[in-house]
Amino acid sequence: MNVLFAASEVTPFAKAGGIADVVGALPIALQKLGCDVRLIIPRYESLTGSPRLEGVLRDVPVMVDGGEEYCEVFRTTLPDSTIPVYFIENRKYLSRGPIYNEHGQERPFAEMSRFLFFSAAVTAVIPKLGWMPQIVHCHDWHTGMIPTLLGRTGLNDTKTVMTIHNIAHQGVWNPHDIMGFLGIPETEERYHLDARDARGNFNVLQQGIMNATIVNTVSPTYAKEILTPEFGEGLQNTLNAQQGKLAGILNGINTTRLDPATDQNITARYDRNSLDKKAENKRALQQQCGLKQDPAIPILGFVGRLAGQKGIDLILENCTLMAKAGIQLVLLGTGLPDIEKRVTAATERHPGNVFANLGFDNAFAQRIYAGSDLVLVPSSFEPCGLVQIIAMRYGTPAIVRATGGLKDTVPDADSDPVHGLGFSFDEFTGEALWEAIVRSMRWYKNPTQWRMLITHCMDQDFSWDSSAKKYHALYERITK
C-alpha cells in the first residue's frame, strides 16, 4: 500500500510543534506493517538535522495567482530509516522565513498563500514522482486543500485521510483571495467550494473535513468532543454532518528515543526493575534547580507552552499552597510575555519551592520527566497530549484534566486503583487541580502503593506500533 504523508513539518528537519513528531514517527511504524510510506513537506529556508538533499525534479509548473510558478523537488530519507522525504522548494512562497508567521513579520496573506501553494504543488508533483500513492495522508489545515485539488487535477482515484491535530487552527480567509490564488471560479460548487464557516469565511480545514475520504483526530475522546460547541471551534456542525467518516486514533511516542534505560540526557539510566536509580535523577534535578536535595520532598514538573490552554493559570494559582505543603515545582516552557512575568514572579515569591526555565530545552525536559515525582497537565482542552505519555514512560504519573487524549491515557488511580495511571479532575479550576494534587500526595506517602503506580505506568505500551495498526486498518478500509 502506497501512502504519502503531506505536512507542514516533520522531525528532525522542520519542527514547531507536535505535528512534526507524529509525521516523523508514524511512517516508520507503518513501514513495518508493509506500507510504502513517503513524506512531502516544504523546503524551508532553514532545515535542521543537516539533511543531504538529492535533486529529483526541476521546473515543475504550479498554477497559482493567475499564472505559472515553478518548484523544484529534493529528496532525503528519515534518519535511521529508508523512508523517502520529498522537499518542495519555491523561493517566492515556501523557501524563506520560518515555518509559521507567528510574530506577524509577514503580510497577513503570506502564511495562507504559503500553504495554498504547497497544497497545489503537492498535487502537481505527485504525477511526476514515478511512484503513485493510493492514499495521501494530510495533516491539519496546512494541507486542507489537497483533497479538493487532487480531484480537480484528475487524481480522482487517490484516497485521502485528513488528520486534525488541533481544531483551533483552521486556516481562515476571505473566499475571494483564496479562490483567486488557486484559480478556482467563486461560483464553482463542486467539492463543497461554496461552503463557508459560521463567520462567512472560506475555511481551509473545513474543506479538508468535507472533501477527504475519511477524517480522524489524535484521540478517541477528542473525536467526540469536537462534535460539540464547547470544543468544535465553530466546525461542529460540519463535523456532525460528516460524523460517519470521523475516527479517533491515539498518538504514540518514539519509545526508542524516549527510554529511561538508554537516555543520555538524564543522570542515571533505569527501568522498571531498577527504580531506585530514579531517585538519583530526582536529586540531580533538585541540584540543577537550586532546590533542597531531599528524596522525601515531592517534585511536580511542568513541560509545555506557558499558555492559558495548558492550564498554567491553574498552576500559578496553587503555587502558594504547594509551597506551604512543602512541594517543589519545576517548570519548563515559553509563552506570552505577561505569563512569563507571572511565572518569574512566582519563582521570586517561592525561591525554595518554585523553579522555572523560560525556554525550550529538550535535554532539560528529559530530566524533568526522569526526576519529577509527578507531572502537571491541567489543560482546558488537549487533542492528545504527549507530556503525560512521555512522563509515564519514565515512571512519572501525571495529574491531568479529564479531557481529550488526557482522559484516554490517564485513568484516575483513586477511581480505579488496579488500572489507574495518575490523577484526573473534571472542572477547569484551581480548586479542582489542588484537590487532585492532595489526592496524589496520599499515594505518594505510601511507598508500596506508589511503586505499584509507577511500575504500572512503565508497563504501558504507548509505542507507535499499536497506533500504526489502527491507521493501517483505516487505510485498508478506504482503499477497499
Same domain, 24 and 125: yes
Band of residue 243 on the pLDDT scale cut at 50, 70, 90 = confident
For residue 268, being part of any structural domain is answered with no
**The C-alpha cell that represents 151 in the structure block:** 480531484
Same domain, 280 and 220: no
For residue 366, being part of any structural domain is answered with yes
Range of the domain at 389: 275-458
As for how many domains the chain has, the answer is: 2
Same domain, 178 and 319: no
Tens of pLDDT, residue by residue over 36-49, are 999 999 999 888 88
Instruction: State the amino acid at position 349 in one-letter form.
Output: R
pLDDT surpasses 90 at 97: no
Same domain, 427 and 468: no
Interatomic CA distance for residues 327 and 285, integer angstroms:
14
Same domain, 191 and 211: yes
Same domain, 328 and 392: yes
For residue 266, being part of any structural domain is answered with no
Same domain, 186 and 48: yes
Give me the helices (H) in 189-244, please.
204-211, 220-225, 236-241
Band of residue 105 on the pLDDT scale cut at 50, 70, 90 = low
pLDDT surpasses 90 at 456: yes
Same domain, 207 and 310: no
For residue 260, being part of any structural domain is answered with no
Task: Give every CB contact of residue 466 below 8 A, 6+ residues apart in sequence.
Answer: 252
CATH code assigned at 417: 3.40.50.2000
Tens of pLDDT, residue by residue over 162-213, are 999 999 999 999 999 999 999 988 777 777 888 888 888 999 999 999 999 9
Task: Give every CB contact of residue 94 below 8 A, 6+ residues apart in sequence.
Answer: 42, 43, 44, 71, 88, 114, 117, 118, 121
Same domain, 401 and 451: yes
For residue 261, being part of any structural domain is answered with no
Tens of pLDDT, residue by residue over 264-309, are 999 999 999 999 999 999 999 999 999 999 999 999 999 999 999 9
Interatomic CA distance for residues 294 and 353, integer angstroms:
12
Same domain, 292 and 166: no
Same domain, 51 and 148: yes
Q: Which residue has the higher pLDDT, 225 or 96?
A: 225
Mean pLDDT of 354-371: 94
For residue 101, being part of any structural domain is answered with yes
Q: What's residue 213's pLDDT?
A: 96
What pairs with residue 375 in β-bridges? Answer: 301, 398
Q: What is the pTM of this model?
A: 0.91
For residue 369, being part of any structural domain is answered with yes
Mean pLDDT of the residues in the chain: 94
Residue from 41, 58, 59, 57 nearest 49 by CA: 41
For residue 399, being part of any structural domain is answered with yes
Same domain, 147 and 295: no
